[in-house]
Amino acid sequence: MKTQDVIMNKEKLVKTIYDVKSTKCLQDDKNCELLLNFLLAGPLTFEDIKNAFREVNAEKSDKTIYGYLNKLKKANLVMEAGKRIITYSESHIKTLSLYSRTAKVFYIALDIDTKKKDEEEEYYLIIGKILCQMQNYSSFDEKCFKKVFEVFTQKKRIDVEKINKIDNPEILDLLTSIDIRATKYIIDTLCWLSFIHEHPKIHDDFKECFSK
């Protein structure tokens, strides 16, 4: 018997998650999270996934696992990466679908959901009031603060895509060798540092939004 994996869709290094459904799928469904963890090692067939659940004493039915896969595919977290070709003989060949994560690291963006205006205003209000307390300001201009923060948000989207295009093997190995939380921390820090580097007057811009 000979086995060959043919990969047609390669996972990205970082995928930025902006929509609520994908975020909920990542954070709220423990079984989907478990399945995604199985795929960290690389593409798996349905049977591989089924065996992985069994090995952690969380055996699932075929229907349930397909349900998880469909949910993750709809959330753009999992994709069909290719095929596993199993050759038993010249006349007996079996082909199985391979599933993989769409990215090694899923990065949940800090964007505020603009569809919920009330919550959006509340978030900026909370952040601004806390900053006032921390920096001894008496008040702040919410619209001004929001405008500055939105500039950072847009820059952050660009920088995450830049990180995703890195092709330095040493850096890629480092990023994929640490856990998701640590990677998110590193990406957040990189984006802030990059933003400050390209906007040296950011402190002055923020100061204009606050008053003593």
Instruction: State the alpha helices, DSSP H only, in the chain.
Output: 20-28, 30-38, 46-55, 62-74, 117-135, 142-164, 169-177, 180-198, 202-207
Which has the higher per-residue pLDDT, 201 or 160?
Answer: 201
**Residues near 180 by Cβ (< 8 Å), separated by ≥ 6?**
105, 106
Which has the higher per-residue pLDDT, 195 or 118?
Answer: 195
The string of pLDDT tens digits covering residues 4-22 is: 889 899 888 778 787 777 7
The string of pLDDT tens digits covering residues 75-133 is: 899 999 999 998 888 778 889 999 999 988 787 765 554 455 556 678 888 888 898 99
C-alpha span between 117 and 85 (Å, rounded): 51
| Class of domain 2-107 (CATH, top level) | mainly alpha
- Residue type present at position 113: D
Instruction: For Cα atoms 75, 77, 82, give the angle at the middle one, nearest 5 degrees.
Output: 120
pTM over 0.95: no
| Domain extents in the chain | 2-107, 113-211
**pLDDT for position 109:** 66
Question: Which of 81, 78, 102, 83 is CA-nearest to residue 94?
Answer: 83
- Residue type present at position 141: D
**pLDDT for position 120:** 65
The string of pLDDT tens digits covering residues 129-176 is: 898 999 899 988 888 888 888 888 888 888 888 887 777 878 877 776
**pLDDT for position 8:** 92
> Of the ranges 56-70, 119-133, 187-201, which one carries the lowest mean pLDDT score?
119-133
**pLDDT for position 83:** 94
Is residue 65 over pLDDT 90? Answer: yes
C-alpha span between 132 and 138 (Å, rounded): 6
Q: How confident is the model at residue 35 (pLDDT cuts 50, 70, 90)?
A: very high
Assess contact for 98 and 43: CB atoms under 8 A. yes
